[in-house]
Amino acid sequence: MSISTPGGPERRPTVVSTGKKPAAGRPAAGAKAGSGKSTGSPRTGGKGPRKPVAPVKVSQGRAWGPIALFVAVGVLAAGIIGYGAWASFQGSKPWDKRADAIEGIVNIRKSDPDSLKYESHKSGPLTWNYSPPVGGVHNAAWQNCMGDVYDAPIANEHAVHSLEHGAVWITYRPDLPKDQVDKLAGKVRGVEKTFMSPYEGLDKPISLQAWGYQLKVDNADDSRIDEFIKDLRVNASVEGPTALCNTGITATGTTPRELQQQPTQ
């Protein structure tokens, strides 16, 4: 059966649908072979899939407050740990090494050991190489050194014997202001193997003595005073820690007692 084409050979023939679906894998009639373009989605109006929207980044300033606090706490903790380690190390040193580390201390045990030697107790006035004396020959009687605070000068001969027993003797100029004297007294009262008294002719306002050691300072607020007491009290004893500081001379005055009037130790 022939199909007529009205209008002449220039007109395309009309395609009559047979109602059959195109075979799988083959393009439908009128579709261009090899075309992979999508025909669009109904939701996008046939314009294809939407491009993903990039998130908007919000620039925020760095939180310096918490950071500074954290750093400060860290520095403080490191300082505490470091100081604790240093203090522990210092405390583990022998007492004489700690004493030698005190700024300005004079160690007569090293510089002039012969001045500390003596053969026996002696009565009457005695002489020394240092003022106030720090050891050597002395009277048989010792000055009471149970935290005694003397308001007048005492005999050197008795004081040196107390140093031999491990006491620390604090001396000061008679014109030292009262508040300074009171501060010194606060370091002495109630502390066994310490005593203090005014002393004429000091070249510094305050002078501290232990057997073979001396430290001179300008005021009672000097932290070296506490270091001197801590390191040398008892430790500097020539006769050991059990040497007595009680039952000694409690009177003031610079004239020493006669030998036969006092116990010998």
Q: Is 95 helix (H, G, I), strand (E, B) or coil?
A: helix
Per-residue model confidence (pLDDT) at position 22: 53
Q: Is the peptide bond before 132 cis (omega within 30 degrees of 0)?
A: yes
Hunting for tokens 């116990």 — which residue is that? 263
* pLDDT < 50 positions in the chain: 1, 3, 33-36, 38, 85-87, 261-264
Per-residue model confidence (pLDDT) at position 142: 97
Torsion angle in degrees (nearest 10) through CA of 241, 211, 217, 104: -110
Q: How far apart are CA 8 and CA 199, in angstroms?
A: 148
Residue of 102, 120, 198 lying closest to 161 (CA atoms): 120
- Residue 91 tokens, joined: 């405390």
Contact assessment for residue 228 and residue 107, using Cβ atoms and an 8 Å cutoff = no
Per-residue model confidence (pLDDT) at position 108: 98
Per-residue model confidence (pLDDT) at position 264: 47
Per-residue model confidence (pLDDT) at position 139: 97
Per-residue model confidence (pLDDT) at position 261: 47
Kindly report the CATH number that applies to the domain delimited by 105-232.
3.40.30
